Each structure stands twice: as structure tokens, then as C-alpha cells.
Amino acid sequence: MLSISIGLSNTIWGITSEIIPSYLLSHAQGLVEGWSWILQFVINLFFLDIIDDDVGRYVMFIVFAIIGLIAWLYTFFYLPETVDNTVKGNLELLYGKDELVKMRNKLTREYGLKDIHDPYRPRKKNALKEYR
């Protein structure tokens, strides 16, 4: 438990905050963190029973090593570099601009989300004064 809390568990916070738009971040962060705790509970539920078995001890660590390798490969090859990039830029790298506009419009229609800082809407020069 201690090793996953130091390593992969914290990765969830960083990745989620860099690829989820700010208007969805609070909901997404809650779902992702909840799912993380459920998975950690399941791992800890079976870990002590498996570790007591002589063969299970080796099998468990091989399984964890494979999962860690898959997570590393996913992070290294699939996730974009997010240094000096905005969330909008990160999402465009993952999905493409056209697909991102479609998803944003769909969410706006379905859930009535309104964002005054819509990056795809043309801005008026005095838009802030009109908002006040």
C-alpha cells in the first residue's frame, strides 16, 4: 500500500488535472479518485492472502511488475508532454480540434454548461465590459 501511494497513486492527480478541462475537473477528479481508492481496496483485500502462499508471492510481484510496465508504456507513448502547454492544447493533442469542439458542444447541449472563457468562440474586444 505504501509503495503504490508513493508511486502510481499520485500520478492520477497530475494526469487528470492536465487533460481535463477546468469546467469538468471537479467532477472528473472525484470520479477518478474514487475509482483509485476502490482499486487500491481490491488490491489490499487479496494481497495478504496471496503473499502468504509461497508461489503466490512471486506471481503477485510479477503481476504488479507487468501492470507497472503497462502504466509506464501508456504514460510514455500515449500521453502528450504537458510542460508549458495549456489544458486546451493538451486536449487538442489527444483528440484533435474538431473532435474537441464536437465534444464541447455535446456537453453544452446535454448538461447546459456555460463557459464565458470558451476558447473556440471568437472574442469581442470589449467582451469583459459587456459581462460586467
What is the three-state SS of 31-70? HHHHHHHHHHHHHHHHHHHHHHCHHHHHHHHHHHHHHHHH
- Report the predicted TM-score, pTM, of the whole model to 2 decimal places: 0.52
pLDDT, tens digit (0-9, with 9 covering 90-100), for 20-52: 877 778 888 888 888 888 888 888 888 878 888
Instruction: Name residue, grid cell 486546451.
Output: 88
Residue 87 scores a pLDDT above 70: yes
Residue 47 and residue 74: Cα distance in Å, rounded?
A: 25
Dihedral over alpha carbons 32, 7, 14, 35 (to 10 degrees) = 0
The grid cell for 113 is 454548461
